[in-house]
Structure 1
Amino acid sequence: MNAAPTECPESTPESVRPTEEELARRRVAITALGHELRALVDTTVRTLAPPEALLHVADGVRRLTGQLTGRRRARAEIPAVDEFPGGVRMYSPVTGAGSPLAPPMRVTPDGGGVVGRCALGIAHEGPPGYGHGGMSAMLLDELMGWACAAAGRPAMTVSLQVRYHRPVPLETPLRVHARVTGTEDRKIFVDGSISTEDDPSVTVVTADGVFVAPDPARTRALFPDARRTP
Structure 2
Amino acid sequence: MNVVPTESPATDPDPVGATGEELDHQRAAIAALGHELRVLVDATVRTATPTEVLHRVTDGVRRLTGQLTGRRRVRAEIPAVDQFPGGVRMYSPVTGAGSPLAPPMQVTPDSDGVVGRCTLGIAHEGPPGYGHGGMSAMLLDELMGWTCAVAGMPGMTVSLQVRYHRPVPLETPLRVYAQVTGTEGRKIFVDGSISTEEDPSVVVVTADGVFVSPDPDRTRALFPNVR
TM-score, length-normalised on structure 1? 0.93
How far, CA to CA, are the matches of 1:226 and 1:9 in structure 2?
A: 22
Structure 1, residues 173-209: CA drift from partner, whole Å, max 9, x if none?
0000000000000000000000000000000000000
Q: Which residue of 1 aligns with 2:194?
A: 194
Where structure 1 has 5 or more consecutive residues not aligned to the other structure, the ranges are 1-6
Q: Which residue of 2 aligns with 1:139?
A: 139
Q: Which residue of 1 aligns with 2:13?
A: 9
Q: Aligned-pair distance for 1:9?
A: 2.7
Q: Aligned-pair distance for 1:18?
A: 1.0
Q: Which residue of 1 aligns with 2:68?
A: 68
Structure 1, residues 4-47: CA drift from partner, whole Å, max 9, x if none?
xxx8432x6x4xx2121111010000000000000000000011
Contact in 1 for aligned 2:26/2:81 (Cα 8 Å): yes
How far, CA to CA, are the matches of 1:138 and 1:23 in structure 2?
A: 28
The 5 A counterparts of 1:34-49 are: 34-49=34-49
Q: Which residue of 2 aligns with 1:3?
A: none
How far, CA to CA, are the matches of 1:44 and 1:81 in structure 2?
A: 28
CA RMSD of aligned residues (A): 0.9
How far, CA to CA, are the matches of 2:105 and 2:12 in structure 1?
A: 30
The 5 A counterparts of 1:26-175 are: 26-175=26-175
Contact in 1 for aligned 2:119/2:170 (Cα 8 Å): yes
The 5 A counterparts of 1:203-214 are: 203-214=203-214
Q: Secondary structure at the match of 2:207?
A: strand
How far, CA to CA, are the matches of 2:156 and 2:41 in structure 1?
A: 30
How far, CA to CA, are the matches of 1:220 and 1:167 in structure 2?
A: 40
How far, CA to CA, are the matches of 1:102 and 1:226 in structure 2?
A: 24
Q: Secondary structure at the match of 1:116?
A: strand
Give the letter for the 1:182 counterpart.
G
How far, CA to CA, are the matches of 1:105 and 1:62 in structure 2?
A: 29
Structure 1, residues 81-122: CA drift from partner, whole Å, max 9, x if none?
000001110000000000000000000011110000000000
Matched pairs, number: 217
Structure 1, residues 41-68: CA drift from partner, whole Å, max 9, x if none?
0000011110000000000000000000
TM-score, length-normalised on structure 2? 0.94
Aligned residues with identical type, % of pairs: 81
Which runs of 4 or more aligned residues in structure 1 lie more than 4 Å from their structure 2 counterparts after TM superposition? none
| Greater RCO structure (CA 8 Å; 6+ sep) | 2
Q: Secondary structure at the match of 2:39?
A: helix
Contact in 1 for aligned 2:13/2:70 (Cα 8 Å): no
Q: Secondary structure at the match of 2:65?
A: helix
Q: Which residue of 1 aligns with 2:180?
A: 180
Where structure 2 has 5 or more consecutive residues not aligned to the other structure, the ranges are 1-10
